[in-house]
Amino acid sequence: MKQRRSWQNRRPPLSDLLPNSELVVLYGERRMTVQGCRKILAYSPTEIRLQLKKRQIRITGEELGCSAFSGGCTTLQGRIRSVEYEASEQEEPHR
């Protein structure tokens, strides 16, 4: 009997879809992937702040943790309550 391959097994990695760009994917309220992450600025069970190319992203919630950080792709897990984009300290806010 022929096995069917699921779509998830055939999809390309996020880095192949949008190289050198920022991409945030939420999987419900328990997991998220951030493509284009340069470094982790803050890390606690209630807040994670990431530096992207031109801005920062702040994730708040409960029991937050980083399960993977490689090649500019970061996977976070926990109870995600909010995701906020913030201007980097070097970047002026848009008016």
Q: Could you tell me the strand order of the sheet in which 73-87 lies?
A: 23-27, 31-35, 73-87, 55-70, 47-51, 39-43
Domains of the chain: 23-87 (2.60.40.2000)
Residue 87, pLDDT score: 82
DSSP 45-84: SSEEEEE-SSEEEEEEEEEEEEEEEETTEEEEEEEEEEEE
Q: How confident is the model at residue 90 (pLDDT cuts 50, 70, 90)?
A: low
Is-above-0.75 flag for pTM?
no
The dihedral sign for the CA sequence 23, 95, 93, 78 = negative
* Cα–Cα–Cα angle for 79, 82, 86, rounded to 5 degrees: 135
Q: Which residues contact 71 (CB under 8 A, 6 or more apart)?
A: 15
43-88 pLDDT tens trace: 999 999 999 988 999 999 999 999 999 989 999 999 999 999 988 6
